[in-house]
């Protein structure tokens, strides 16, 4: 016999000790102690949630827009505060009527007396140029710009209180600006999370009862899911004290934790019930359960963590915190599944089968639908494989036309106040500029008041003002249109105290030790193609003698972020794929099966990416799901890949390990595939249905980022558990035959390699 060929006796499952089997027996002996420790950990997690923590979106990318923003923050004192806009409207009164002005003054009185407010700009006490930008085209609305003494992170926490101080019985008031948008995101994300939990938990319990046919087993799995989510969220909130954690983290941790923990516990409980049917020895049943299902979920947890580890390649982005938080909740899920759950199983023993639902009891082994399906597929593998592959690949074709742009206010639902405010600014206040694009001039020598540097800023400002799409340019060389270059140069040679008030204010607000900021105002929405084109045109205006031109702002950041994400994706994908392959190599002791597993995941992801573009970019189902079609946020494909790649591998691990067990007993590939699919098909489908319900509950979210992520993950899991695992996998394994299980001598365990060599 050729060395390395398969010999069934070399792989017969042994009842000897393994670390996981010994662990199961240890848990049985110390079940009450382990249960107590698990409950203590749960209480500690709950305490961490009650103590709370502050989520924070931050980024320190190595890109031009971030470098320019850092210069502004470092050198301009005014950058330490933030501001928001209030749009005051009346259908009957014009802004220049005494009644409108009086009503506006009363509406803003509470804010004027608030110590957190440094200044409120309205058309009534502003320069003519500024006043024009604060009046709507129909003259029935004005903008009040509220400047704050507090930074952005504090402002988003206090915004509800600040907003409540602006009220009027005469005028309608609509808030806009970054603090308003952040507040709406925070509020809606919390509401989305609560709604998803209310929807997904009862559905998960119902599906678990269908899978198990018993109430006790179903409640066990749901309980582990709840414990894992509480542990993950508690740990994530603790993490906020040592690093910035994204505001999306709570939703994503819940989404991953519920799905993964319920899946893991489902496989453990099912295997325990299966072993109890063979023996009355609870300790032995638990030991075998841990040696098989326990080992599988440990490896599965590693593959999910590897997928989430791909986010660590996006240093400086919020994805890093998402990857860390996701890995934490997966680790918590695995820990509870191999400690708390087996301890409860040891206590319950045969009582795990209590509260039976007679009509839901599974059929005896060998006569189930999954067994028949596997045999049917393997009788005609090509007839099944080719059309199924065609469907999956066709489903992925919309992804070829993907467009990426950083998410903006359109991620909020149309009825969100800050989104309505942003739309009003765009349509009714074109002079105000919907999009402010700061252009930073960093001077090579001296400061912005030197005559040569004033000339450089003056020339650049005039070139920028002539670009189509630019509404206005505000800077220290644009204070008064009557001033010439010579006038500005002479002006800035005078002592600061002798300068006119308007000039002094502009100089203080927009110049630093080595920089000057020219604010380019545009009516283009920040994430629009026209705004992108405008920023690229501005960046081409690099003729600035003695200075470096840097562009920042939302649109510039949008462009830089997409380029950053695209540039960092190849190494992230390579890491996830290669590391997962190596882990599966150790688990399955086969060269072919890990490669096939990676390719199967690619098929599921292809369908999910295609559906994501088809729905959220192209707008199909937009009226049903309630969102505005837009280019995809570049973080969404990254999140989807990193999360789904690991989650899909769950099913591959559980399916292949059962097939591997059967093959080691019989050496018959066809029989092993049929038996493995029957043993795990019902569970994989049930687990996928539960996970899909959890994800679809998040697809009902108000915030498009969470909605699209939940939808894409649901599509991936459904495609994976139906078309891929039920049809493509058995068809491919039938065609590959014994090659599925081939491995070189160096890959086998020492004892196995010795037995194979002796058999040769």
pLDDT for residue 8 is more than 70:
no
Note whether 394 and 611 are within 8 A (CB).
no
DSSP 597-631: HHHHHHHHHHHHHHHHIIIIIT-TTHHHHT----P
Query: For the chain, first and last CA: distance in Å?
Result: 4
The pLDDT of residue 40 is 95
Task: Tell me 720's DSSP state.
Answer: I
Residue 551 CB neighbours (<10 A): 23
Residue-wise pLDDT for 310-335, tens only, equals 999 998 888 898 899 999 999 999 99
The H helix count followed by the E strand count for the chain is 29, 8
Residue 631 has pLDDT above 90, yes or no: no
Per-residue pLDDT at 437 exceeds 70:
yes
Beta carbons of 307 and 645 less than 8 angstroms apart: yes
Structurally, at CATH architecture level, domain 368-398+590-742 sits in: Up-down Bundle (1.20)
Q: What is the mean pLDDT of the chain?
A: 85
What value does the mean pLDDT take over residues 689-695? Answer: 86
- Choose which CATH entry (1.10.3470, 3.30.930, 1.10.287, 3.30.70) describes domain 82-181: 3.30.70
CA–CA separation, 197 and 310 (whole Å): 27
Name the DSSP letter for residue 469: T
Query: pLDDT (tens digit, 9 = 90+) per residue, 458-515?
Result: 999 999 999 998 988 988 898 888 889 999 889 888 887 788 877 887 888 888 889 9
Helix axes 729-736, 369-379, angle to 10 degrees: 50
Distance CA 133, CA 121 (A): 11
Which of 504-518, 559-573, 617-631 is predicted most confidently? Answer: 559-573
- Cα–Cα distance list, 621 to 528, 624, 628 (Å): 22, 5, 10
For 438, phi then psi, to 5°, come to -70, 130
In the chain, what are the domain boundaries? 82-181, 368-398+590-742, 417-554
Least confident of 84-93, 193-202, 353-362: 353-362
Share of the chain above pLDDT 70, in %: 92
CA-to-CA distance for 204 and 732, rounded, in angstroms? 32
pTM: 0.82
Q: Which two tokens stand for residue 539?
A: 């960046």
pLDDT at position 374, please?
80
Rounded-to-5 percentages of helix, strand, coil across the chain: 70, 10, 25
């Amino acid at each position: 016999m050729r060395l390395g060929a398969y010999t069934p006796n070399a792989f017969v499952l042994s009842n000897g000790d393994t670390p996981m089997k010994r662990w199961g027996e240890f848990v049985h002996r110390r079940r009450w102690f382990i249960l107590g420790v698990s409950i203590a950990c749960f209480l500690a997690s709950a305490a961490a949630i009650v103590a709370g923590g502050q989520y924070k979106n931050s980024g320190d990318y190595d890109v031009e827009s971030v470098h320019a923003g850092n210069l502004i923050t470092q050198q301009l004192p005014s950058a330490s505060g933030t501001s928001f806009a209030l749009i005051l409207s009346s259908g009957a009164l014009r802004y220049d009527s005494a009644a409108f002005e009086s009503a506006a003054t009363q509406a803003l009185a509470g804010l004027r007396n608030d110590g957190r407010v440094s200044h409120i700009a309205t058309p009534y006490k502003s320069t003519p140029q500024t006043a024009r930008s604060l009046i709507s085209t129909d003259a029935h609305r004005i903008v009040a710009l509220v400047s704050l003494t507090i930074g952005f992170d504090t402002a988003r926490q206090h915004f509800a209180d600040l907003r409540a101080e602006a009220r009027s019985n005469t005028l309608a008031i609509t808030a806009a600006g970054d603090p308003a948008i952040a507040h709406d995101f925070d509020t809606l994300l919390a509401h989305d999370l609560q709604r998803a939990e209310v929807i997904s938990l009862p559905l998960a319990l119902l599906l678990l009862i269908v899978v198990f046919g018993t109430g006790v087993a179903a409640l066990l799995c749901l309980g582990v899911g709840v414990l894992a989510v509480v542990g993950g969220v508690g740990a994530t909130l603790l993490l906020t004290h040592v690093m910035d954690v994204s505001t999306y983290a709570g939703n994503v941790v819940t989404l991953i934790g519920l799905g993964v923990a319920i899946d893991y516990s489902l496989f453990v409980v099912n295997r325990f019930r299966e072993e109890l049917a063979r023996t009355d020895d609870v300790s032995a049943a638990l030991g075998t359960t841990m040696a098989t299902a326990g080992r599988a979920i440990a490896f599965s947890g590693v593959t999910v963590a590897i997928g989430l580890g791909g986010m660590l390649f996006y240093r400086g982005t919020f994805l890093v915190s998402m990857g860390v938080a996701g890995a934490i909740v997966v680790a918590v899920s695995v820990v509870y599944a191999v400690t708390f759950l087996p301890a409860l199983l040891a206590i319950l023993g045969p009582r795990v089968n209590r509260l039976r639902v007679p009509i839901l009891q599974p059929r005896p082994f060998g006569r189930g639908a999954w067994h028949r399906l596997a045999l049917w597929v393997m009788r005609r593998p090509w007839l099944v494989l080719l059309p199924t592959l065609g469907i999956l690949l066709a489903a992925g074709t919309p992804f070829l036309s993907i467009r990426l742009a950083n998410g903006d206010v359109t991620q909020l639902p149309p009825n969100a106040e800050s989104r309505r405010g942003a739309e009003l600014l765009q349509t009714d206040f074109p002079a105000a500029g919907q999009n402010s694009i700061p252009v930073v001039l960093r001077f090579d020598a001296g400061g912005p008041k030197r005559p040569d540097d004033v000339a450089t800023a003056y020339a650049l400002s005039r070139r920028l003002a002539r670009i189509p799409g630019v509404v206005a340019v505000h800077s220290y060389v644009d204070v008064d249109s009557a001033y010439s270059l010579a006038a500005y140069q002479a002006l800035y040679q005078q002592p600061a105290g002798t300068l006119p008030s308007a000039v002094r204010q502009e100089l203080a607000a927009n110049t630093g030790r080595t920089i000057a900021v020219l604010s380019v105002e545009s009516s283009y929405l920040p994430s629009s193609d026209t705004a992108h084109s405008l920023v690229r045109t501005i960046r081409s205006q690099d003729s600035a003698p003695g200075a470096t031109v840097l562009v920042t702002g939302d649109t510039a950041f949008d462009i830089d972020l997409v380029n950053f994400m695209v540039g960092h994706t190849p190494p992230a994908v390579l890491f996830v794929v290669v590391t997962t392959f190596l882990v599966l190599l150790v688990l399955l002791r086969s060269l072919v099966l890990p490669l096939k597993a990676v390719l199967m995941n690619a098929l599921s992801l292809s369908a999910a990416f295609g559906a994501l573009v088809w729905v959220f970019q192209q707008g199909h189902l937009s009226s049903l799901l309630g969102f505005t079609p837009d280019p995809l946020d570049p973080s969404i494909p990254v999140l989807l890949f990193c999360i789904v790649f690991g989650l899909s591998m769950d099913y591959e691990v559980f399916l292949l390990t059962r097939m591997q067990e059967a093959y080691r007993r019989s050496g018959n590939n066809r029989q092993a595939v049929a038996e493995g699919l029957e043993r795990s098909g019902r569970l994989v489908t049930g687990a996928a249905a539960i996970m899909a319900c959890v994800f679809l509950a998040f697809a009902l979210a108000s915030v498009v980022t969470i909605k699209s992520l939940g939808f894409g993950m649901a599509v991936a899991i459904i495609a994976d558990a139906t078309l891929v695992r039920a049809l493509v996998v058995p068809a491919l394994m039938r065609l590959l035959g014994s090659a599925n299980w081939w491995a070189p001598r160096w890959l086998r365990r020492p004892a196995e390699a010795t037995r194979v060599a002796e058999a040769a």
